[in-house]
Amino acid sequence: MKFVCGACLLGFSWLFFATRAQANGAFPEVSQLVADPHDRSHLILRSNFGVLTTNDNGQDWDLICEGGIGYQNIEPPVALLDDGTTIAALATGIAQGDSRSCNFTLASGANAYIADVSRIPGSSGHAVAVSSDLTAFVSQVWQSNDSGATWTTLGTPLTKLNAATLDVAADDANVVYVSGSTQDDAPNGVLSRSEDGGQTWTNYVVPGTNKVSAPYIAAVSASDHQTVYVRLSGTPGQLYVTHDGGAHFALVLSFNGPFDGFALSPDERFALASGRIDGVWRADTSSLTFEHLSCAKIRCLSWSASGLFACADEFEAGFL
């Protein structure tokens, strides 16, 4: 296995990696897997010791260390844009670069705590991000049209909201969803929807949310932006779906342990869900009746035209 850190390329054995590469002392973990939308050989995998990347369908992996991207002791949300650019959400802005060469810089414009980043489907080099001012309880969506190099605000701020995730609809780029925790009279987890590019927002309370169970956008249907899957953090993990943009939610799956991974098949016929305690579950999206497939302790899922990929922790599943 090769390790890339800044301009350095180091060769290590897997035994050394498994016993010594433990980041801040925690056992090595992985938590997000992203497939390149146009290069089936290119994958990136977020861990608690950096970002792993492959350009040959996983035969060989490189490690971009935390310092090579510009962060330390966090697990930043990452996204692969349609042109292959990698972006990462940092506490001080957005890192942008090419994971194939480990050439990352801090983008200009969005100098804030960034909660999440996401590609705009079908638009080469276009991306969105959401920042959160945890003191003022104000969140702001940002956009980039130059592969994440520069960012400008998109629409109006979301007041009394600490954002956690965002996504843009594949069938209408003006439809933007943001999930987070509101700071109204009673704190609730909400899904915020804009249909005019962030100019106006409507908040919908997500059932089952509280201080220790926050909503995260699991997926937005590519063919119907009114259908959104939302998973809840904490234990027990739960999966909700709305078919009317957030006005109504239905609970479709409840785990005993945390809800870790979710993916829709490219044709959106099937939904997969996984957890480190509950294993892997599958449902036909027409009914969303889930069946238990496997006891594998899968932490993250990615399903695209490139294939179905999963990741797990070595301590729990025997492999990274």
pLDDT of residue 212: 86
pLDDT per residue as tens digits for the range 237-278: 999 999 999 999 999 999 999 999 999 999 999 999 999 999
Q: Per-residue confidence at 232, pLDDT binned at 50, 70, 90? A: very high
pLDDT of residue 11: 32
pLDDT of residue 305: 83
Instruction: Give strand pairing partners of 272.
Output: 263, 282
- Upper half-sphere CA count for residue 253 (Cβ side, 13 Å): 34
pLDDT per residue as tens digits for the range 104-116: 999 999 999 999 9
pLDDT surpasses 70 at 8: no
CA 265 to chain CA centroid, Å, is 17
CA distance 298 to 238: 16
pLDDT of residue 24: 56
Task: Note the pTM of the prediction, 2 decimals.
Answer: 0.90
pLDDT surpasses 60 at 12: no
pLDDT surpasses 60 at 290: yes
CA distance 205 to 113: 24
CA distance 179 to 172: 18
Name the helix (H) or strand (E) containing 16: helix 14-20
Neighbouring CB atoms inside 10 A of 299's CB total 22
Which CA distances in Å does 105 have to 62, 67, 77, 99, 207?
Answer: 19, 11, 16, 12, 39
Contacts of residue 20, defined as CB under 8 A and 6 or more positions apart, other chains included, come to: none
CA distance 109 to 114: 12
Contacts of residue 214, defined as CB under 8 A and 6 or more positions apart, other chains included, come to: 164, 179, 180, 181, 189, 232, 233, 234
Contacts of residue 237, defined as CB under 8 A and 6 or more positions apart, other chains included, come to: 231, 254, 255, 257, 258, 259, 260, 275
Average pLDDT, the chain: 89
